[in-house]
Amino acid sequence: MAIKHGELVLVGLRELDKVVSDGTVWRQAGDLSYLSFPSLEGDDLFHAFFSRRGGVSREPFASLNLGLHVGDGAEEVLTNRRLALDVAGAPLPSLVAGQQVHGTRIHRVTRAEAGRGGRSAADAIPETDGLVTDVPGLVLASFAADCAVIVALDRRRRVIGLAHAGWRGTLGGIAAKLVEGMRDLGAEPDQIEAVINPSLGPCCMEVGGEVIKEAETKLPGLVADPAEGVFWRKLRRSGGHQGEGSKYLFNLWAVNQAILEGAGLSPVRIRVAGLCTYCGDSSLLYSYRREGGRCGRHGVLLRLA
């Protein structure tokens, strides 16, 4: 299987509203810019992956840091969240976030939970990396700076969901659990559109041999032929044999894509931004690894109209 992503050419800020790949577009809203997938756009849905530009946070969080738990000032983060929510056409009390723990739990969000995790991380949905809902007006949110955020929609059944997927959540199968959570709300897997937002790419996601061992154990069907090199590739400089010290490049995008297909999604309904946070434009993208663990978080917002 091939990795489906467009050739991405970043353009200057003034030109951000132009299409930059075959699957995504950067939109400009005031000083903010966000990545959008035209395949998901419509009057019935708002979705966005916000770049780091246009916010009020200072270095090392500059500037549109939307994560509350990274050492940035709460006041700055709440101002940034309001700026992003203005673009989404929703107030802060409509935002719902999970306490992302690199787990695989999916939570069905009800209207009564509006605002959980919006002003404070303390009341976010506990130990939850994925959210699903069919309630219009709620803004599902996920925050990341290298981990993938998968966004999904069944337009006909009006069910949405998102999941935060680093390698741990990915190998735990959070993408399949997201589909399961949406199915419980009436979504049909073969009707679900899913996208994988900018995150560590196969160019830069270095992992140790223990991650590959875990992948082989947890996803045996997926990795029948690891030699194919689609899901991971051994780094040449790590020596000639597969030992404890070996390093690999892991393809988070292709693995999640394969898991989504395994959960019943049509390959043509899965899109990958194809933009790596690590080697992409650092004035546009945070990268936890590139910035040594001290940086802001991109916000991914998703709302049914």
- Closest to Zn ion by CB, 178 vs 276, is 276
Least distance CB 287 / Zn ion (angstroms): 9
Report the alpha-carbon distance of residue 189 to residue 192 in Å, rounded. 5
Q: How far is CA 185 from the centre of its chain?
A: 21
Q: How would you label 235-255 residue by residue, b for 16+ Cβ within 10 Å and e otherwise?
A: eeebeeeeeeebbbbbbbbbb
Q: Which is nearer to Zn ion, 92 or 279 (CB)?
A: 279
Q: Which is nearer to Zn ion, 201 or 299 (CB)?
A: 201
What is the smallest separation between the CB atom of 284 and Zn ion, expressed in angstroms?
Answer: 14
Lookup: tokens for 35: 């990545």
Q: Which is nearer to Zn ion, 94 or 199 (CB)?
A: 199
In the bound complex, what is the minimum distance in angstroms from residue 292's beta carbon to Zn ion? Answer: 16
Supply the minimum distance, in Å, between the C-beta of residue 196 and Zn ion.
Answer: 14
Smallest distance, Å, CB 281 to Zn ion? 11
Closest to Zn ion by CB, 66 vs 276, is 276
For Zn ion, the closer of residues 222 and 252 by Cβ is 252
Q: How far is the CB of 208 from Zn ion (least distance, A)?
A: 18
Which is nearer to Zn ion, 215 or 276 (by Cβ)?
276
Residue, CB closest to Zn ion: 276
DSSP-derived letter for residue 175 is H
Tell me whether residue 122 or residue 203 sits nearer to Zn ion (CB atom): 203
Angle at 96 between CA 105 and CA 24, to 5 degrees: 85
Would you state the structure tokens that stand for residue 211, as one six-digit string?
């991650």
Residues near 71 by beta carbon (within 8 Å), at least 6 away in sequence: 61, 294
Count of residues in the chain: 305
> What is the sign of the dihedral through the CA atoms of 82, 86, 91 and 95?
negative
CB of 276 to Zn ion, least distance (A): 3
Strands of the 247-250 sheet, one edge to the other? 206-208, 247-250, 232-234
Q: Which of 252, 253, 249, 258 is nearest to 203 (CA)?
A: 249
Q: C-alpha distances in angstroms, 298 versus 53, 198, 208, 226? A: 10, 10, 26, 32
- Tell me how far, at minimum, the Cβ of 21 lies from Zn ion, in Å: 15
Residues that bind Zn ion (CB under 5 A): 201, 203-204, 276, 278-279
Q: Which pair of tokens denotes residue 29?
A: 């809203």
